[in-house]
Amino acid sequence: MLLTALFKALQMAGAMGWEILWPLVLGFALSAVVQAVVSHREMSRLLPDDSPRSLAIACGLGAASSSCSYAAVALARSVFRRGADFTAAMAFQLASTNLVLELGVILIVLMGWRFMLAESLGALVLVVAMAILFRLLLTRSLVERAREQADKGFAGRMEGHAAMDMSVKEDGSLWRRILSQKGLTAISHYFVMDWASVWMDIAGGLLIAGALAAWVPPSAWRAFFLVGHPILAKLWGPLVGPLVAMLSFVCSVGNIPLAAVLWNGGISFGGVVAFIYADLIILPILNIYRKYYGLKAAAFLLLTQYAAMVFAAYVVEVCFGVVGLIPKPGGATVAAASVSWNYTTWLNIASLVLAGALLVRFATTGGPAMLSMMNKPAHEHG
């Protein structure tokens, strides 16, 4: 009985993994292209304050960066230490995990374009809500103490990956930079290192999603998400979604399979959106906040980001409900996911060929040496 249940969970995890293989490869490849032509070295200069212009730049830079939550947090600390505004640095890390290309592609495949649109538009509301809360509640003394703690340089995770800037700065058109030898090398390096930074989260998310989909009965989900009480369910979903995410320990794009399971289980539309946003307040990252900025600043980040996530989720729920864009529950690709010879198979084969070509270039252009530096502090890099 136990072996049968375990096999079913692994089967569902494998099927979901097969469904999102080509979107993952495509998303990471597109993200690598963007990172190869967008430099992070000027971030501190571009984020001097919490003005709308700085916040917009922070969102743009975040969308052009790696989706790894740990790398985003490390890079935000790095630019803060170099003089960037604290609010703008936090806006960057929110955008880096919620506006990246690979996240949108996977959301479309597993959950549909409405979720991608809701997550993207809601992320902008999330940044604005966070900035307003910071403007109202963040004190200068707390920022000064956070900067003093940040300057101590305590290690988190993926700091080496966050510090690497391989963007191509040669003259010429965008396509010329992308297709140049340096451009192709940078793309291959970003592609492999982004995979290396999030594969554990993706695997963990798939395994947990498979187990929950296989083992938790629908009645338990419906009771927990108050499906029988539509109004309460809409209020409850955004409140509980981030709490479930905090306890899952899964971040980055790895939480999308879990979001699909929760949606099929009956959580509200806004609850799904809030769950996806909460990868920056999972328990391991809260511990990194404590190391980076101190306990009081970590508590401040938890409370303000949670409040902003809930608010953004309510805005999404209301706005999408008014215009009739909330999809019918239970439509995510989880229970019905299976491996068969169809268009997904052909796309997966093509994506594996692309991944193989990038991996070969990575291996033959000094990539392994850089890979070994991913989890080392930035000051150890040449």
In a domain, 263, yes or no: yes
For 79, 106, 288, 378, the CA distances from 133, given in Å and listed in that order, are: 21, 31, 22, 31
Nearest to 75 by CA among 39, 105, 124, 102: 39
Instruction: Quote the number of domains for the chain.
Output: 1
For residue 377, tell me if it sits in a domain.
no
The pLDDT score that the predictor gives to residue 25 is 86
Per the structure, the complete domain to which residue 329 belongs is given by 8-372
Reading the block at residue 188, the tokens are: 């291959």
In a domain, 2, yes or no: no
What is the structure's pLDDT at 26?
Answer: 83
Residue 1 lies in a domain: no
Domain-embedded: residue 378: no
* Token pair in block for residue 57: 């730049």
In a domain, 382, yes or no: no
Give the pLDDT confidence score for residue 258 in this predicted structure: 84
Answer yes or no: is 178 within a domain.
Answer: yes
202: Cβ–Cβ under 8 A, 6 or more apart, which residues? Answer: 24, 252, 253, 254
Answer whether residue 73 is part of any domain.
Answer: yes
Q: Which residue from 157, 94, 123 is spatially nearest to 285, judged by alpha carbons?
A: 157
pTM of the model: 0.81
Task: Supply the pLDDT for residue 158.
Answer: 61
Q: How many angstroms separate the CA atoms of 99 and 23, rounded?
A: 15
Low-confidence stretches of the chain (pLDDT beneath 50): 335-337, 381-382
Whether residue 88 contacts residue 43, with contact meaning beta carbons closer than 8 Å, is answered with no
C-alpha closest to that of 380 among 370, 44, 328, 17: 370
